[in-house]
Structure 1
Amino acid sequence: MGPFIVYRGQGMLNDEFMEIHNNIGGLLSFNSFLSTTVDLNVAMKFAQRSVGRDGKTSVLFEIEVDPMLTSTPFASLNNVSYYTKKEEEILFSMHTVFQVVQVKEHNDHIWKINLKSVRNNDLQITRLTEQMRREIGEGSTIDRLGRLMITLGEIEKAEAVYELLRELTPEHDKKIFAWIRNQLGYIKYKQGCYTKAQEFYKDAREIQEKMRPSTDIDLAVTYSNMGLLYTNLNDTSNALLYHQKALEIRKKNLKVNHQDLATTYNNIGLVYYERQEFSTALSYYERTLKIYQEILPENHPWLATAYKNIGLAQISMKERMTGLNNLCKAMDIRKMVLPSNHPSIASICCSIGEVYRETGDYSTAFKFYEEALDIEKKAPKINYSSLAMTYYKISRILNELKQYDNAVKYAELAVQSATKSSTPNDEDAKKFVDNFERLQTKL
């Protein structure tokens, strides 16, 4: 395969743009997976979205890629029907390194940045890339693509991939069929569609249980996912039951420091956290972290999850500063390796914001909540339950800052968003309405 050209249009913070503008001949590394297109017109449309926005510069990247030079994996997504009509997308792995060749004003207030590929010899980045390749590396090409989309937080794209795989899989291939149902269940879980997720998991579990022991590893995944679902439904008894089933299978089939065992310990910790048994939860989280530290690169996203959960448990045990330190470790890793609009970054922003709110630092809390809100509003498919909670939290901060007009506005947005949720929570909905009515009395 010879050299080729791809494009990417986006808005950049003015300071970030000036750093590139003043770095002609220098290197530029994208911290997360990089989505590009071979279609210039598509990239231009993305660039034009940021024209005129305060504090941002609209840019068009034109990237010359030489496969003989770069060791960074990339993949064309054109063979999946979901993308073919969209962007003719080329996806590059995280921390792809390019040289800045030229920066010049293009047209319509858009700047064009010419880049070309170079070798990346960063050992830590290489380790992380190879680790994530191994995690996604089993199964068919389409299955691997679906797993990658889930990792990137591109849940709607993942759903399209697995729907395509379902169409292509013969009905008699029960093992693959069950795996697809499990993955679709997880996607519905991430979308907040818990009833539909439950249906998919039930289908997968029934098939896999009939085919044991050949399906044990896949069955453990289904049990684990069912445990997560029941945790979110506040059914901690069933959650613990299914996580223990997953743990039993994995202990029999995996090494003592296998990442799936660590993940199971983490999930059991989540159940105890939900039960407010924080010290027990913390002990499971620490077992998780110990294994992850042994086997994963130090910038792996799963380490961020472990640090976050440890931090939340510590905060619940009134160890606020220690907990905040671990939350910040989680934030640093996620911002380093995940796309800037990944929902996991929004989640950690809210957690950090809550710590600052509890300590009375309302301005800092507001900053983190706003960052979370910006990510949630830009999601391809909005999670209205999460969005409503963020609006509610911002309204509380604005109330503390005595900005009552804005507090009422955000409180009303919380109520409106909650009504759009596919998984309505009556307790939260009442809390949002009470908050809105209480704040109105202050006007």
Structure 2
Amino acid sequence: MKEKINLFWFRRDLRIADNHGLYRALAAGKPVLPVFIYDATILNDLEDNDSRVEFIADQVNRLKEEFERNNSTLWIYHGKPLNAFKRLWVEYEVEAVYTNADYEPYGRERDGRVATFLRTQNIEFFSYKDQLMFHQNDIRKNDGKPYTVFTPYRNKWLEQFRHIELDEYPSPKLLHGLLKTEPLKDITLRDIGFRRGSLEFPEKKIDKPILKNYEALRDFPAMDATSHLGIHLRFGTISIRKLTKKAVQHSAVFLNELIWRNFYADILWHFPYVAERSFKPAYDHIPWINSEKDFARWCEGTTGYPLVDAGMRQLNETGYMHNRIRMVVASFLCKHLLIDWRWGEAYFAEKLLDYELASNNGGWQWAAGTGCDAAPYFRVFNPTLQAQKFDPEFKYIRRWVPEFDDLSYPQPMVEHKLARQRAIDTYKKALASG
């Protein structure tokens, strides 16, 4: 008779330290076999040089090596998760599957299918809070409804935060509970149909000086004054508990950004339709112009607005864009060009190394005025004034738009004052008729 084991399923938590679900699996008493699945449903929609897959593969290989140093291994599969668990059910005597919660619509559907199959085989499925400080139902209004405005959400978040412990889960101390087994086969990038890209990944480092100076410097894109931890939060190579603890110690403004991330995750959970439609239904009646020619110039960074162009070129070249500039380029696309926010959201989803559905969607709907607690439709960023305020010496602009001082640099594709008024009139008319 085969030995009974538990499985731990890695997803957006590619680390051993302070991993909630991994800790629970190891503490449960049965030998634990760690599992990672290259989900074909997700990968099939990506280009073969998507650097995020390269980042994941590097982290998966690192985990596998660490487990092998502890006389265990990582079971790696490429395909559909349900098929992976059907194979695991055949290969092992599984008592329970442990994992950390996923809050996105596809993740919820996928986990539901897996959990249903496991139940038919009398295998338990346990899911834990790990990528956020608070689950989707932890922060509620007094009447039990979810918040849709950030400030009262933040106040309740902070109120409840005062009553929780920020202790780390000591999962590394329990690695003796791993299943003792020989190394299993590696799966390479080439095996799953991908190749290495050209982008560099930011260091996983919580920089105290950056946190301490975050409030004063975070809006100036020429300065290297932001954490660059987005990709590490996205794939869980850093613990949200550890990062939150540092934010509490050094920067209330940085903590506020982490609360926004939790807020947008909650919005996506409670209102999953926002992944495809405006949070405020009336805004789905806006008659976008949706010029493909204008969209191409925005994507390329040739709009004639230097701050917009610098941001788009930074994104295209590095997979990163400064957060202040993300707001400017998003506002420009939706308001100046009257192009549907979903076009921009999809472009960011393709390019950003730190892409998260909830935060990306929330940010775009904020800029477009279509989301919960969004900027009002009549608020239209002036890219020229934004450049004067946040890049007064044009250092950021000149870095990414070297022809900025030359006659070859294009004239603005739209005139700000006219574009602003056109946007306000278009929104106002659409909302009145909707």
TM-score over 0.5 for the pair: no
Higher strand share: 1
Higher relative CO (Cα under 8 Å, sequence separation at least 6) belongs to 2
Higher helix share: 1
Q: Provide TM-score, normalisation by structure 1.
A: 0.29
